[in-house]
Amino acid sequence: MQIKTLSGVSYEEILRVFNSAVSDYLVPLQRASERLATKMKADGTELSLSCGVFENEQLVAFILHGVDTIKGEKVAYNGGTGVVPSKRGMRLTTKMYEFILPVLVSKGITRIVLEVITNNVPALKTYQGVGFKTKRELLCYKGNELDYLQKGPAILKPLANYHWELLESFGQVKPSWQYTTRAITASSSANIALGAYLKDELTGYIIFTPSTKRIQQIAVKPDYRRKGIASQLVGSILHDYGNPVFVINVDKNANALNAFLTKMGLVLQLKQFEMELLL
């Protein structure tokens, strides 16, 4: 077996191994090639900083790393680790990190973050063995039978542009990597964005991805909360796209947002740990 970067490896080859790796996973997930490409773009994936295990020139395991500069710090994100079932138990994830960590350090990266399902004990032990530490717990919701009215106090209009300085002032929750301003901007062509206006003032917004049925961000300006604006925004999405709806990686400590999602009828589907490795 040989470990090397994924430079030159096709989306289709990564997709093949990804699908094999998750075929018996806790939450099975099959990604169409276009959707995988969209995710990798949103994650900021750099194949030269990702790596894989090859056997007879065939990819059998991989780690995908995205990169971003956050407050002057160059950070990597593990956007996916996959090992085909027949090669598990061989410490391939650990070996891949032994290979790629010096490469990341040489590129000025000082931190790696990732998410792992809380009851995926083998993966947790592997990442802990590499040196990752748990930073926070993230909650993932699914709504199958939501029935929210579109009526509300605001006028809803499409958001043609993301004015992030204004939008970020609405929220109180630090988004996970997949829902940062950089990630959402990178995948903006796949998103629907609506703003809620009262007397021409933007009071709330929602960003939704129809292909995955995920609400990426939803927030209401503090002075306008508890007036039905968030419900109206969700109702509009349901009216246009129907059920189900997913909200992924909500900080467990975001009490108001978690209470709203539960009241709306979404059900907790799984929990994840956000982990971090300092280099």
* Residue-level pLDDT at 28: 45
* Residue-level pLDDT at 198: 96
Read off the tokens for 143.
Answer: 């709504």
Helix axes 33-43, 11-21, angle to 10 degrees: 100
138-173 residue pLDDT tens = 999 999 988 776 678 999 999 988 999 999 999 878
Asked whether 6 and 14 are in contact (CB, 8 A), the reply is yes
80-97 residue pLDDT tens = 999 999 999 999 999 999
Q: What are the residue ranges spanned by the domains of the chain?
A: 2-109, 141-271
65-79 residue pLDDT tens = 999 999 899 999 999
* Residue-level pLDDT at 273: 98
The pTM assigned to this predicted structure is 0.90
* Residue-level pLDDT at 126: 96
- Identical fold, 2-109 and 141-271: yes
Instruction: Give the chain's residues under pLDDT 70.
Output: 23-34, 149-150
- Tell me yes or no: is domain 2-109 CATH 3.40.50.300: no
The CATH number of 141-271, from 3.20.20.70, 3.50.50.60, 3.30.230.10, 3.40.630.30, is 3.40.630.30
* Residue-level pLDDT at 30: 47
Asked whether 123 and 117 are in contact (CB, 8 A), the reply is yes
* Residue-level pLDDT at 34: 56
**CB-based contacts of 122, cutoff 8 Å, min separation 6:** none
Other CB atoms within a 10 A radius of the CB of residue 169 amount to 12
Question: 98-131 burial by CB neighbour count: b if 16+ within 10 A, else e?
Answer: ebbbeebeeeebeebbbbbbeebeebbebbeebe
